[in-house]
A and B are shown apart, each in its own frame.
Chain A
Amino acid sequence: MIALATEVPPGDVERLRAQFPALCRRVNGHLLAYLDNAASAQQPAAVIDAIADYSRNHHSNVHRGVHTLSQEATALYEGARGKVRGFINAASEREIIFVRGTTEAINLVANTLGRTRLQPGDEIVISWLEHHANIVPWQLLCEQTGARLRVVPIDRRGVVDFDAYRALLGPRTKIVSLAHVSNALGTVLPIGEFIAEARDRGIATVVDGAQAVPHQRIDVQALGCDFYAFSGHKMYGPTGIGVLYGREAVLATLPPWQGGGDMILTVSFERTTYNSLPWRFEAGTPNIAGAVGLGAAIDWLAEVGMERIAAHEAELLAYATARLLTIPGLTIIGTAPDKASLVSFTVDGIHPHDLGTVLDAEGVAVRTGHHCAMPVMEFFDLPATARTSFALYNTRAEIEQLHAALTRAIGMLR
């Protein structure tokens, strides 16, 4: 076994773990080792309780009533928006749009910015390692507008080729949309450098931050992007809530997307006028409970500290990488020098799906499949990989549980 400096004392992690009810349960007779955090992270009691408190005591509609509960619900909902603003250092709450998640955020940009800015022959640039959520909306847009999708290549490590990216940016490039962190490989892009290249050329920039936000401090003003999208359920919050950050100067020029209540000022059959930012992009009754839960997750993350989380997760990544590489026939897919705390891998002679079943029987939850990134799988000529992804509450003991379960799978199946 290898010795690594532990940045966060183990007692600290145990105290954090105790706040997550799901982590205390057993699965198939074993203590749960939850290593599928890149799909969805577990929720601390603070988040669960905030949602329950809203549901028990304040549930009503927002922006619509003079009665007490409606005012409380509105204050909670808009309070959550304020927390999001601070969390990513946006300049104003007008730049924070609540959506269902990253997928809806990107679709919103495609349907507003995309439809108004693109002419036939214009180009949208993405990279090879995108999640389907950052591919398909742009393909739909291309079909509607006659624009073309251009794809920046990756190398065998899973690093996005910066020179190829620069070479792809041309006079027809109107939108660049890139993952900050790859969910399939863990690659962290030096996203600020990618954004700067596009900005210098007047190209609109969209960042899929779904995998970045839970692991590092994000400052959208420092990054300088036009849009930044992320999901609540990957950052210890509930499902069904996410955020689209949009720079106000850009948002102000966009037409609405969905129409309905809340997004209007006045409606008559002759003419409708639209609400101001950000509500113009929030048609209908929003996910109030979800926003409250997300706000609670942000408070909780602030208390733990993003730097502490990043240090602990970096330590887990190094430990897991070293331990997994001791398993004969195990290959790590995605070996970028700058990686988020996840490891995609294959084991010779054993399909990832079988690994997933054996691991589950041992209480170890990992993701197996194409990770909604089929072009990445195609690039490595694999049908699927197994992926272990870490959160602030994971431990070395859980990595040992994974190691033992993999050893058992090999004994059974190879």
Chain B
Amino acid sequence: MDLADLYRDVIVDHNRNPRNRGRLPQPSHSAEGNNPLCGDQLRVTLEVSDGVLRDIRCEGRGCAISTASASLMSEAVKGHSLAEVAGLFGQVHQMLTSHDAVPGPDLGKLAALSGVREFPARVKCASLCWHTLNAALAGDAAPVSTE
């Protein structure tokens, strides 16, 4: 177990300076996510039109992994079609949970999160933002929980 594999430079950077931080004033979609184990809370607000995720903001408090994951996700999905976003979700899920998966080429910077799977207690921290994004797109009213 190598900490440097978990806290890669990209992750430390995105934790220190999260991108797309905050809340869209008039989002078309929004959802809240909680990770009761560590008390992480996240709100994702989206601007979606014509099947394209045009803008995104993430706001909340959480550990370095959840903060960096939300920041990386926001960069990765912005400007992409919902079909592409769904494809990314599948690849991220695969990367976080299956041991032999090689991060796909579409993942780009998101591949920095591949070290998380060696730390089972932290997988939920990395996946919280993605589940919250999905809930927002699905129009779920109830907050999602990683439990």
Q: Which residues of A contact B (CB under 8 A)?
A: 28, 350-354, 357-358, 361, 368-370, 377, 383-384, 412-413
Knowing A351-B62, A351-B64, A357-B122 are in contact, say whether A413-B38 is a contact too (CB < 8 A).
Answer: no
Task: Give chain B interface residues in 32-79, CB to chain A under 8 Å.
Answer: 37-41, 61-65, 67
Say yes or no: A377 contacts B39, CB within 8 Å: yes
Across chains A and B, the number of contacting residue pairs, with CB separation under 8 Å, is: 49
**Contact residues in B for A353 (Cβ distance below 8 Å):** 38, 40, 63, 65, 122, 125
- Chain A proximity of B85: nearest CB distance (Å): 27
User: Which 8 A-B pairs give the minimum distances between C-beta atoms?
Assistant: A383-B39, A351-B63, A353-B63, A353-B38, A384-B39, A354-B64, A361-B3, A354-B63
Say yes or no: A357 contacts B3, CB within 8 Å: yes
- 15 pairs of residues in contact across A and B, judged by CB atoms under 8 Å: A28-B1, A351-B38, A351-B64, A351-B67, A352-B38, A353-B63, A354-B64, A357-B121, A358-B3, A361-B1, A369-B37, A383-B38, A383-B62, A384-B38, A413-B7
- Chain A proximity of B32: nearest CB distance (Å): 14
- Complex interface bits, B104-123 against A, C-beta within 8 A gives 1, otherwise 0: 00000000000000010110
Nearest to B37 among chain A residues (CB) is A369
What band does the interface of chain B fall in when counting residues whose beta carbon is under 8 Å from A?
20 to 34
- Give the complex CA separation of A357 and B63 in angstroms: 11
**Contact residues in B for A369 (Cβ distance below 8 Å):** 37-39
- Give the complex CA separation of A291 and B63 in angstroms: 40
Say yes or no: B12 contacts A412, CB within 8 Å: yes
- Give the complex CA separation of A327 and B125 in angstroms: 26
**Contact residues in A for B65 (Cβ distance below 8 Å):** 353-354
Say whether B30 faces chain A, with CB atoms less than 8 Å apart: no
Say whether B15 faces chain A, with CB atoms less than 8 Å apart: yes
Nearest to A355 among chain B residues (CB) is B63
Knowing A357-B6, A357-B121, A412-B12 are in contact, say whether A350-B61 is a contact too (CB < 8 A).
Answer: no
Nearest to B3 among chain A residues (CB) is A361
- Chain A proximity of B129: nearest CB distance (Å): 15
**Contact residues in B for A413 (Cβ distance below 8 Å):** 7, 12, 15, 64
The contact of B3 among A368, A377, A412, by CB within 8 Å, is A412
Say yes or no: B12 contacts A383, CB within 8 Å: no
> Taking each of B7, B63, B121, which has the highest tally of chain A beta carbons within 10 Å of its own beta carbon?
B63
- Chain A proximity of B65: nearest CB distance (Å): 7
Nearest to A382 among chain B residues (CB) is B39
- Give the complex CA separation of A209 and B75 in angstroms: 50
Say yes or no: B12 contacts A370, CB within 8 Å: no
- Give the complex CA separation of A357 and B5 in angstroms: 12
- Give the complex CA separation of A352 and B63 in angstroms: 7
- Give the complex CA separation of A326 and B122 in angstroms: 29
- Give the complex CA separation of A43 and B40 in angstroms: 33
- Give the complex CA separation of A377 and B40 in angstroms: 13
- Chain B proximity of A108: nearest CB distance (Å): 27
**Contact residues in B for A351 (Cβ distance below 8 Å):** 38, 62-64, 67
- Chain B proximity of A36: nearest CB distance (Å): 14
- Chain A proximity of B55: nearest CB distance (Å): 27
- Give the complex CA separation of A133 and B7 in angstroms: 35
- Give the complex CA separation of A28 and B6 in angstroms: 15
- Chain A proximity of B82: nearest CB distance (Å): 31
> Taking each of A352, A358, A383, A412, which has the highest tally of chain B beta carbons within 10 Å of its own beta carbon?
A383
Nearest to B121 among chain A residues (CB) is A357
- Chain A proximity of B92: nearest CB distance (Å): 20
- Chain A proximity of B91: nearest CB distance (Å): 24
The contact of A412 among B1, B7, B37, B39, by CB within 8 Å, is B7
- Give the complex CA separation of A28 and B1 in angstroms: 7
**Contact residues in A for B61 (Cβ distance below 8 Å):** 383
- Give the complex CA separation of A352 and B122 in angstroms: 12
**Contact residues in A for B15 (Cβ distance below 8 Å):** 413
Say yes or no: A383 contacts B1, CB within 8 Å: no
- Give the complex CA separation of A358 and B15 in angstroms: 16
- Chain B proximity of A204: nearest CB distance (Å): 33
Say yes or no: A357 contacts B39, CB within 8 Å: no
**Contact residues in A for B12 (Cβ distance below 8 Å):** 412-413
Known contacts A353-B38, A368-B38, A383-B39; 17 further A-B pairs (Cβ under 8 A) = A28-B1, A351-B38, A352-B63, A354-B64, A357-B3, A357-B6, A357-B119, A357-B121, A369-B37, A369-B39, A370-B39, A377-B39, A383-B40, A383-B61, A383-B62, A412-B7, A413-B7
**Contact residues in A for B122 (Cβ distance below 8 Å):** 353, 357
- Give the complex CA separation of A353 and B63 in angstroms: 6
- Chain A proximity of B143: nearest CB distance (Å): 15
- Chain A proximity of B119: nearest CB distance (Å): 6
- Give the complex CA separation of A135 and B64 in angstroms: 31
- Chain A proximity of B128: nearest CB distance (Å): 12
**Contact residues in B for A412 (Cβ distance below 8 Å):** 3, 7, 12
**Contact residues in A for B40 (Cβ distance below 8 Å):** 353, 383
**Contact residues in A for B41 (Cβ distance below 8 Å):** 383
- Give the complex CA separation of A353 and B65 in angstroms: 9
Nearest to A370 among chain B residues (CB) is B39
**Contact residues in A for B37 (Cβ distance below 8 Å):** 369
